[in-house]
Amino acid sequence: MDFDEVMKLLASFEKRQLDYVLIGGVALNFHGIARATEDIDLFVRPDPVNIERLRHALKDVYEDPSIDEITAEDLSGAYPTIRYVPPSGELFLDILARLGDKAAYDDVHFDAVEVGGVTVRLATPTTLYRLKKDTLRAIDRADAEALQKKFQLTPDDE
Residues 83-130 pLDDT 10s:
999 998 678 999 999 988 889 999 999 999 999 999 999 999 999 999
Tell me the C-alpha distance between 78 and 119, whole Å.
31
The CA-atom distances, in angstroms, between 156 and each of 61, 118, 149 are 40, 32, 14
Contacts 24+ apart (CB under 8 A), 75-79: 75/44, 75/46, 75/51, 76/46
Dump pLDDT digits (tens) for 27-51. Answer: 999 999 999 898 999 999 999 999 9
pLDDT per residue as tens digits for the range 70-85:
999 989 888 899 999 9
Sign of the CA dihedral 125, 153, 143, 70? negative
Query: What CA–CA distances, in Å, run from 70 to 7, 113, 114, 135?
Result: 22, 27, 28, 27
**What are the phi and psi torsion angles at 95 (to 5°)?**
-105, 120
Residue 157: pLDDT band by 50, 70, 90 thresholds? low
Identify the CATH number of the domain defined by range 3-151.
3.30.460.40
Q: How confident is the model at residue 158 (pLDDT cuts 50, 70, 90)?
A: low
pTM tops 0.75, yes or no: yes
